[in-house]
Amino acid sequence: MADNLPLPVRVRVTASPSLALLKYWGKEKSGINIPATSSIAVTLSGLETVTEISTDFNQDGKSSAGDQIIINDEPVSDPKIELFLRYARDQYPLPSQLTIRSRNNFPTSAGLASSSSGFAALAAGLGAYIRPALSGIELSALARAGSGSACRAVFGGFTRWIRGSEYAVPVYDHTYWEDLRILLILVTRQPKSTGSRSAMNHCSQTSPVFSSWIRENHRHEEMMLAGLQNRDLEQLGAAMRQSYLFMFSTMFTADPPVIYWLPESMAVIRACEKLRRNGLNVWETMDAGPQVKLLCQESETGRIVEELEKEIGPFEYRLSRPGLPPAVETCFD
Amino acid sequence: MADNLPLPVRVRVTASPSLALLKYWGKEKSGINIPATSSIAVTLSGLETVTEISTDFNQDGKSSAGDQIIINDEPVSDPKIELFLRYARDQYPLPSQLTIRSRNNFPTSAGLASSSSGFAALAAGLGAYIRPALSGIELSALARAGSGSACRAVFGGFTRWIRGSEYAVPVYDHTYWEDLRILLILVTRQPKSTGSRSAMNHCSQTSPVFSSWIRENHRHEEMMLAGLQNRDLEQLGAAMRQSYLFMFSTMFTADPPVIYWLPESMAVIRACEKLRRNGLNVWETMDAGPQVKLLCQESETGRIVEELEKEIGPFEYRLSRPGLPPAVETCFD
């Protein structure tokens, strides 16, 4: 987008969530969402947040004061979004009143990283009103202020967010690992009980293994970068498992303990173990929520779904692959 | 038993398993089963190992060489028991040939501490052949050589085994906390996949949080001793939860990770959380196996079983309370 373009009247952004293979869990004390751990992630094709931002309020003849936020067709008052808009306006000249409509084609707040795609879409949408246009890194830093993991979701493919950094960087694009698939198992559509922000803070403040978690993140990161570089699913998967199981161990050892796992999550974890024993190359991870995400190869996906069904019964899932960066459409009249 | 009694021809011991409320998980490098963590346990009424030891081989006219071991009616060759008998004979003069028949009235090797009652019964049975008679502490030290937790199961009621110690000590007898109940939920009758000995060693060798686990055991122990002293189920229960969840965190962070939980275990854990939110005083713990054990008060037991059934469906369970020490019957002709 050239810097001399006029400002748009409406912007429409489609963004996909960022699934951490190496987990972001813990913040540094200073700054907004500065991670204490490096994370490595993949942007998930097919799962989409669509966010429309417009400045044309008076279409219905009313003049409204302040921003309007509509999520999944519900007008909401969302403190996280309001705080983020205040932050963005402090950093950049932006219209003083915006209407923001956002909708996910997947369950919100159920542990599918909806806040990463949500804030990535919002940041990219605001970016359309900023002159000169933001670089990828500036956009990533802006998105991060809304939700840490959103800084990765402004890029497609594989991304890396290094501990202590204000922004993520792209590592490999969505074409790098053609036959990698991500199987998202929806064990529930219920929103999770505890938000991940407060759980993260609770763990970093009360878990006696938190410093060890931070230390081990360096080792997990090396393993995972090697796995990615070699396109070695087994190496990547083993590192991914160590990362998520350690993250959950910071929750189990928090005071009081935090438990996100459901019986259905455990069923998938155990079934995955069995499938691996039977020679299938399939590796699970989880986030601060009950859903389980599996990494596998395209060629084995059908058999994995079939074998999983034998183990746990019928289940709902989405099949994804490394996805594209956010798409931005602007409208000037 | 007076020290001038003749040696018995047959001995029959009934012993109950020891459930650790504060977990024994990790050994010191020197010695046999010297614990790196203190444990606090309760002996479980109603669950029984019955072990008969006899020296009258020639009843069927045959002379057999060596010991005969029969467990749950199956003649077995059990290296743990054979090693233990060798150890016992090194320590004490014992008959050179013994027939040992042992039987559990509860599932064996399924995570119900069958090895604690098994080796407590065996040690107490051998004790009947030892002159002068062993003190409780000597008996505890002997049982420990068979299985660490067995050193607690030679006593009834509440017991404590202090880190670094060769024997356990009784803390309160079985009458101390009259209305305490232990609800043992049998989520499976399958033997567990990995023995707890090898898992314990694997975790102590590969988990980066193992040293933190040992350190925190001191804090958990203080909390639990206070809970026991006050007969405060909430205080005891919170310490018990911290202990078992941390123990499992050493498994999740081991390399490769070890997972004992089944979906059904997780269902009970989550249901327990819900029952507590609804005002019931019920606290779960688990051992290196899939079963879940709940502590509660006698007055709430009925309602807890009912509410649990609503959450997880019908289930098999045993209701237990603090139990008696092993009972020894001797026969001299």
Q: What percent of chain B lies above the pLDDT cut of 70?
A: 95
Report, as an integer, the average pLDDT of B93-100.
Answer: 94
Closest Cα in chain B to A241: B257
Confidence class for position B330, pLDDT limits 50, 70, 90: very high
Asked if A246 lies within 8 A of B253 by C-beta distance, the reply is: yes
Cβ proximity of B146 and B79 under 8 Å: no
User: Which residue(s) pair with A170 in the sheet?
Assistant: A159
Report, as an integer, the average pLDDT of B79-99.
Answer: 95
* Contact residues, chain B, for A209 at CB < 8 Å: 209, 212, 249, 253
- Chain B contacts to A (CB-CB under 8 A): 208-209, 212, 215-216, 238, 241-242, 245-246, 248-249, 252-253, 255-257, 259, 261-267, 269-270, 273
Name which residue leads in pLDDT, B85 or B3: B85
pLDDT value of position B299:
98
Among the listed ranges A31-45, A53-67, B4-18, B266-280, which one has the minimum average pLDDT value? Answer: A53-67
Cβ proximity of B251 and B196 under 8 Å: no
pLDDT value of position B62:
52
**CA–CA gap between residue A148 and residue A167 (Å, rounded):** 9
Using one digit for the tens of pLDDT, what is the confidence trace for A239-253? Answer: 999 999 999 999 999
**CA–CA gap between residue B84 and residue B150 (Å, rounded):** 12
Question: How far does the CA of residue A210 sit from the closest CA of chain B (Å)?
Answer: 9
**CA–CA gap between residue A14 and residue A313 (Å, rounded):** 33
Q: Which residue from A254, A231, A234 is spatially nearest to A242, judged by alpha carbons? A: A234
User: Which residue(s) pair with B12 in the sheet?
Assistant: B52, B329
Helix, strand, coil content of chain A in percent (nearest 5)? 40, 20, 40
What's the CA angle centered on B110, arms B107 and B113, to 5 degrees?
85
Among the listed ranges A49-53, B1-5, B48-52, which one has the minimum average pLDDT value? Answer: B1-5
**CA–CA gap between residue B255 and residue A250 (Å, rounded):** 16
Asked if A252 lies within 8 A of B249 by C-beta distance, the reply is: yes
DSSP string, A166-181: SS-EEEE-TTTTTTEE
**CA–CA gap between residue B232 and residue A93 (Å, rounded):** 60
Helix, strand or coil, per DSSP, at residue A12: strand
Residue B186 in this model has a pLDDT that exceeds 80: yes
Question: How far does the CA of residue B38 sit from the closest CA of chain A (Å)?
Answer: 18
pLDDT value of position B3:
60
Report, as an integer, the average pLDDT of B250-265.
Answer: 96
Residue B61 in this model has a pLDDT that exceeds 50: no
Closest Cα in chain A to B273: A259
Long-range contacts for A68-77 (Cβ within 8 Å, ≥24 apart)?
A: A68/A98, A68/A99, A68/A100, A69/A100, A69/A102, A70/A99, A70/A100, A70/A101, A70/A102, A71/A101, A71/A102, A71/A103, A71/A108, A72/A102, A72/A103, A72/A104, A72/A108, A73/A103
Confidence class for position A302, pLDDT limits 50, 70, 90: very high
Select from B266, B286, B312, B315 the residue whose CB has the most chain A CBs within 10 Å, as the one to mutate to test that interface: B266
pLDDT value of position A62:
52
From residue A79, alpha-carbon distances to A85, B131, B320, B331 in Å are 10, 77, 50, 78
Question: How far does the CA of residue A225 sit from the closest CA of chain B (Å)?
Answer: 18
Closest Cα in chain B to A208: B212
Backbone angles phi, psi at B259, to 5 degrees: -125, 115
Using one digit for the tens of pLDDT, what is the confidence trace for A194-226? Answer: 778 899 999 999 999 999 999 999 999 999 999
Q: What is the 3-state secondary structure (H, E, C) of chain B?
A: CCCCCCCCCEEEEEECCEEEEECCCCECCCCCCCECCCEEEEEECCCCEEEEEECCHHHHCCCCCCCEEEECCEECCCHHHHHHHHHHHHHCCCCCCCEEEEEECCCCCCCCCHHHHHHHHHHHHHHCCCCCCCCHHHHHHHHHHHCCCHHHHCCCCEEEECCCCCCCEEEECCCCCCCEEEEEEECCCCCCCCCHHHHHHHHHHHCCCHHHHHHHHHHHHHHHHHHHHCCCHHHHHHHHHHHHHHHHHHHHCCCCCCCCCCHHHHHHHHHHHHHHHCCCCCEEEECCCCCEEEEEEHHHHHHHHHHHHHHHCCCEEEEECECCCCEEEEECC
Report, as an integer, the average pLDDT of A272-301.
Answer: 96
Q: What percent of chain A lies above the pLDDT cut of 70?
A: 95
Residue carrying structure tokens 């402090």: A90
**CA–CA gap between residue A235 and residue A239 (Å, rounded):** 6
Residue B263 in this model has a pLDDT that exceeds 50: yes
Closest Cα in chain A to B253: A246
Residue A190 in this model has a pLDDT that exceeds 90: no
pLDDT value of position B112:
79
pLDDT value of position A191:
72
- Residue A119's CB is within 10 A of a number of other CB atoms, namely 30
Which DSSP letter does residue A27 get? B
What does the block give as tokens for B58? 């020639």
Q: What is the pTM of this model?
A: 0.93
Which DSSP letter does residue A58 get? G
* Contact residues, chain B, for A252 at CB < 8 Å: 245-246, 248-249, 252
Using one digit for the tens of pLDDT, what is the confidence trace for A39-75? Answer: 999 999 999 999 999 997 655 545 557 899 999 999 9
Question: Burial, B299: exposed, middle or buried (Cβ in 10 Å; 0-12, 13-18, 19+)?
Answer: exposed
What does the block give as tokens for B293? 């054990």
What does the block give as tokens for A270? 């155990």
Report, as an integer, the average pLDDT of A123-146.
Answer: 97
pLDDT value of position A3:
60
Q: Which residue from A274, A277, A284, A281 is spatially nearest to A309, judged by alpha carbons? A: A274
Report, as an integer, the average pLDDT of B70-81.
Answer: 93
Asked if B262 lies within 8 A of A255 by C-beta distance, the reply is: no
Question: How far does the CA of residue A19 sit from the closest CA of chain B (Å)?
Answer: 21
* Contact residues, chain B, for A256 at CB < 8 Å: 238, 241
DSSP string, A224-244: HHHHHHTT-HHHHHHHHHHHH
Question: How far does the CA of residue A85 sit from the closest CA of chain B (Å)?
Answer: 37
**CA–CA gap between residue B323 and residue B155 (Å, rounded):** 9
